[in-house]
Structure 1
């Protein structure tokens, strides 16, 4: 087998095996969470909806079926039952997983670009449009069509 054939075979094998992780099944929660009362359940659901799954990255902790999400939901419920406030639970998770775990990062010096970057881009775009329009407004108008065809 020549070198070109070996490379093509390796590429084909990589393409065939690439979707293999997609076949993995989501983790199932062996024992569903049991809440003491309706207030605890509502607080729990509000809290996990504001937290991001650290594995899925684009799903809330409430929406994710990843095994770590099941574990974190149990951890959140346990912390709630210890008497911790929502802010303390969020701080616990931020200390453990970083600011990424929050769907709405705090406004601090490290996150200014995240919060105010889109506004700066819109302002910069508006400034560019204003300068282009102003530059073209000062030019002489184009001469009338002289009827000549190109």
Structure 2
């Protein structure tokens, strides 16, 4: 499913819809060039979950955890890592809820992952002309809610 995003506000609104409609154990794998809107989308997910804390890119910390919303949000950024470094992080503990409360896992630069969860939403953000963007959402072994499908 491809969604036209006229501006950063539209990207934020898409994230809000995701945050309002996704369930615990949802994993979102985000791909796209620098500045394509990955962090903006995750900020919207945080708003949709009712998180009031500022959601920021975890480029240097790798993982930010926000636990005050409807569900926890685990925001990961793999930009600075090589695939072998990512493998050593044991990221599956987040989507399997082994050591954390089940929530929504949003992973920026997911193409650096040498393995993927059994089910996830892949969201590829691309630049279009004059500052617009496009989000291509592809579900893998999961369903897209009516709220997302109607966008």
TM-score w.r.t. length of structure 1: 0.21
Q: Normalising to structure 2: TM-score of the pair?
A: 0.21
- Structure scoring higher RCO (CA < 8 A, sep ≥ 6) equals 2
Between structures 1 and 2, the one with greater strand share: 2
Larger Rg, first or second structure (1 or 2): 1
